Amino acid sequence: MGVRQKRPPKLFTLGEVTHSPRAIRQLVRHRVSTQILLEKHQTGQWQEEGEAVRAHNEFAVHNGLPVASQFQLGNGQSILIMTTPDRRKTYVLTPEEYAPVELDLRSGYARWAEKYDSWQNPLLAVEEPHIKIILRRLQFESVLDVGAGTGRYTRWLSDKRKQVIGLDLSSAMLAVARRKPAQFSLAWADSSKKLTLIQADAGQTLPFPAGHFDLVLSTLLLHHVADLPALFREFARLQKPGGYCLISALHPQALAAGWQPTLADARGMYRLPHHAHQPADYQEAAESAGYQVVEMLELPVAYAPARFFSPPIFEQHSETNLCFIMLAGLPA
């Protein structure tokens, strides 16, 4: 008598399952059971989809993100199954109905803002401890946080410094940041409060006087920026001589491994603009603006808590660099 093979465990609930008419026609034409595909989707049988998709889905299952699986039917046709972040609905679609849409940064972060802080992001887990170690070493009173987002660092810094300005392109991200401390000043002209948040485009000349800030901080923004030299020139204009510029970015090795800035909801999957700048590109851009590079860090996946990845993915990518950090000083 043969040994009965144990079924793999279900990783999440499907909720209500809805089929699009196009998906139904494809399944009938190829005589494929939806139930079989749903079981593969729900139990993590994503072997067909490639390493990057498997890594994304493994992370998504445990961090409240959409889980999307694609299965080949034959003759170049396939079916895509997507379960929503709240696990209340699952959609059976054709890939064309769930194709990634390119969004600009403002639109993308507007969709992301409310969930940004609740997502357990391995990039943030790797980056934040190292950024804070460097910040604790530096002497400064005035800070410009470019790409402040939901205020990851502005609130922390405002408890310790005389003046902190947080700037971001996304009004939605800043709206989340404003809800964190008890009060924010809402305009640059109001100097009665230590902490100010304003909306502005870092790709333009920023609305501050030259030589004003001891520290320019920009975290996880620069991989979205095409023109690094122009941005570092603007940073240097705002910097006091003797001050510092501290930046972090998604490492190009992570981008090459398929970990790209994407988000998804029931309406589809969205990709944000990004650029695979090499560490040397950041160094060259900073030095061309007059900075002297003090320190560069390349932080691998191995620095992330193990809960973010399954053991095979963690082992395979433990040496893949996930985050880049650079500290540069402007000579006095």
pLDDT, tens only, 226-265: 999 999 999 999 999 999 999 999 999 998 887 777 776 6
Residue 265 maps to a domain: yes
Please choose, from the candidates 327, 204, 246, 228, the residue with its C-alpha nearest in 3D space to the C-alpha of residue 284: 228
Provide the residue type at 287 as one letter: E
The CA-based angle 31-50-267, given to 5 degrees, is 70
Provide the pLDDT for residue 265.
60
Is the CA virtual torsion 60, 83, 35, 62 positive or negative?
Answer: positive
Residue 3 maps to a domain: no
Say if residue 1's pLDDT is above 50.
no
Please check whether residue 91 is in contact with residue 20, taking contact to mean a CB–CB distance below 8 angstroms. Answer: yes
Average pLDDT score over residue span 181-209: 70
Provide the pLDDT for residue 189.
40
The percent of residues in the chain predicted with pLDDT above 70, rounded, is 89
Run of H or E including 144: strand 142-146
Residues 91, 115: one domain?
A: no
Say if residue 187's pLDDT is above 70.
no
Residues 160, 276: one domain?
A: yes
pLDDT, tens only, 262-318: 776 656 677 889 999 999 999 999 999 999 999 999 999 999 987 777 777 778 788
Please check whether residue 175 is in contact with residue 109, taking contact to mean a CB–CB distance below 8 angstroms. Answer: no
Provide the pLDDT for residue 63.
64
Q: What does the alpha-carbon distance between residue 301 and residue 283 come to, in Å, rounded to a whole number?
A: 22
Query: Could you write out the DSSP letters of every residue in 79-145?
Result: EEEEE-TTSSEEEEE-GGGG--EE--HHHHHHHHHHHHTTS--HHHHHHHHHHHHHHHH---SEEEE
Most confidently modeled range among 9-18, 88-97, 213-222, 257-266: 213-222
Residues 161, 69: one domain?
A: no
Residues 271, 166: one domain?
A: yes
Say if residue 49's pLDDT is above 70.
no
Average pLDDT score over residue span 170-199: 70
Residue 229 maps to a domain: yes
The percent of residues in the chain predicted with pLDDT above 90, rounded, is 57
Please check whether residue 291 is in contact with residue 329, taking contact to mean a CB–CB distance below 8 angstroms. Answer: yes
Confidence class for position 98, pLDDT limits 50, 70, 90: confident
Residues 119, 68: one domain?
A: no
Residue 168 maps to a domain: yes
Confidence class for position 175, pLDDT limits 50, 70, 90: very high
Provide the pLDDT for residue 96.
83
Which one of 98, 131, 158 terminates a domain?
A: 98
Which one of 81, 98, 115 terminates a domain?
A: 98
Residues 153, 275: one domain?
A: yes
Residue 1 maps to a domain: no
Which one of 76, 98, 120 terminates a domain?
A: 98
Residues 38, 116: one domain?
A: no
Residues 190, 53: one domain?
A: no
Query: What domain range is 24 assigned to?
Result: 16-98
Residues 303, 232: one domain?
A: yes
Residue 8 maps to a domain: no
Residue 236 maps to a domain: yes
Provide the pLDDT for residue 3.
54
Residues 152, 91: one domain?
A: no
Residues 213, 324: one domain?
A: yes
pTM flag (> 0.85): no
pLDDT, tens only, 138-165: 999 999 999 999 999 988 888 766 789 9
How many structural domains does the chain have? 2
Say if residue 182's pLDDT is above 60.
no
Provide the pLDDT for residue 64.
64
Confidence class for position 2, pLDDT limits 50, 70, 90: low
Please check whether residue 60 is in contact with residue 69, taking contact to mean a CB–CB distance below 8 angstroms. Answer: no
Say if residue 205's pLDDT is above 60.
yes
Beta strand 321-329 pairing with 292-300:
antiparallel
Confidence class for position 190, pLDDT limits 50, 70, 90: very low
Residues 20, 146: one domain?
A: no
Residue 4 maps to a domain: no
Most confidently modeled range among 93-97, 213-217, 318-322: 213-217
Mean pLDDT of the chain: 87
